[in-house]
Amino acid sequence: MSVTTEKAARAAAETETIVNYWPAYWTMIALFVFYVCVRIYEQYFGWYAGLDSFDPLFQKYWLSIMWIELPLEFIAFCGIGGYMWKTRDRNIDRVGPREEMRRILVLIGWLAIYAFTVYWGASYFTEQDGTWHQTVIRDTDFTPSHILEFYLSYPIYIIAGWGGFMYARTRVPMFAKRISLAYLMFWAGPFMIFPNIGLNEWGHTFWFMEELFTAPLHWGFVFFGWFALAVFGVAIQIFDRVIELSKEYEKDVSALV
Partner 1 sequence: MSISTETGAPAGKAWKSKEEFLGCVILTDWILLVVLFAVLLGSFHIHYMLLAGDWDFWIDFKDRRMWPTVAPIVAMCFAAAAQSFLWTKLRLPIGATTVTLALLIGEWINRYDNFWGWTFFPINLVTPSALIPMGFWLDIVLLLSGSWLITALIGGLGWGLLFYPINWPWLAQFHQAAEVDGVLLTLADLIGFNSVRTGTPEYIRMIERGTLRTFGKDVVPVAAFFAGFISMLVYFLWWKIGAWFSTTRYLESDEI
Residue closer to partner 1 by CB (options 76, 92) is 92
43: Cα separation from own chain's centroid: 25
Query: Residue 201 Cβ, how far from partner 1 at the closest point, in Å?
Result: 15
Among positions 23-42, residues that touch partner 1 (CB under 8 A) are: 39, 42
CB-based burial of residue 40 (10 Å sphere; 0-12 exposed, 13-18 middle, 19+ buried)?
exposed
Residue closer to partner 1 by CB (options 67, 232) is 232
Among positions 72-101, residues that touch partner 1 (CB under 8 A) are: 87, 89-92, 94-101
Candidates 52-60, 62-70, 77-85, 216-224; binding stretch for partner 1 (CB under 8 A):
216-224
The reply to whether 8 sits near partner 1 by the rule CB under 8 A is no
The reply to whether 201 sits near partner 1 by the rule CB under 8 A is no
Query: Residue 71 Cβ, how far from partner 1 at the closest point, in Å?
Result: 26
37-41: Cβ within 8 A, 24+ apart: 38/148, 38/152
Q: Looking at residue 54, what DSSP letter applies? A: T
**Nearest to 197, CA basis, from 152, 162, 245:** 152
Query: Residue 212 Cβ, how far from partner 1 at the closest point, in Å?
Result: 6
The number of residues making up the chain comes to 257
137 — phi, psi (to 5°)?
Answer: -65, 130
Query: Residue 219 Cβ, how far from partner 1 at the closest point, in Å?
Result: 7
The reply to whether 64 sits near partner 1 by the rule CB under 8 A is no
The reply to whether 16 sits near partner 1 by the rule CB under 8 A is yes
* Greatest CA separation for the chain: 68
User: Which amino acid would we find at residue 209?
Assistant: M
Q: Looking at residue 152, what DSSP letter applies? A: I
What are the C-alpha distances in Å from 135 to residues 47, 128, 240? 12, 11, 48
The reply to whether 249 sits near partner 1 by the rule CB under 8 A is yes
Query: Residue 129 Cβ, how far from partner 1 at the closest point, in Å?
Result: 9
CA distance 192 to 254: 41
Among positions 107-136, residues that touch partner 1 (CB under 8 A) are: 108-109, 111-112, 114-116, 118-119, 121-124, 126-128, 130-136
Among positions 139-198, residues that touch partner 1 (CB under 8 A) are: 171, 178-182, 184-185, 190
